[in-house]
A = this chain, B = another copy of it.
Amino acid sequence: MSTFSDYRDHVGASAERWFKSTIFLSPNMLVGMDCLEPGQAQPTHQHAGRDKMYFVVEGEGAFTVGAETRRLGPGGLAWAPADSPHGVVNVGAGRLTMLIAMAPEPK
């Protein structure tokens, strides 16, 4: 793991689910990328005791946190507090590329 990086080195596609990568990792925090191809979805899930931030770098997503859904494009942010159900659907024509941070580190 390097001290410096570029998100473009950590993007990709997965035909089966969605693509995820880890850029930085410590017991305190995970920083990585979640990438969804058009039409792909990250089903609603939750992380016990862990907060998660999404930052949209490219594309358009419909983000759900709890009972609320919001469409976000580049520059948009979503926050899933610990234990709150959250998910995202790529509703755009291109790849949805998201920087994510989760704290503490998921086990």
Q: Which residues of A contact B (CB under 8 A)?
A: 1-8, 23-24, 26, 28-29, 31, 49-51, 53, 55, 57, 63, 65-66, 68, 70, 72, 75-82, 99, 101, 103-104
Contacts and interface: CB of A to CB of B under 8 A. Distances in A.
Given A101-B29, A104-B28, A7 B55 contact: yes
A8 B50 contact: no
Copies of this subunit: 2
Given A26-B51, A29-B29, A101-B31, A5 B57 contact: no
Nearest to A80: B3
Given A3-B66, A29-B29, A68-B3, A75 B104 contact: no
A55 B72 CA distance: 18
Contacts of A28: 49-51, 82, 103-104
Contacts of A104: 28, 103-104
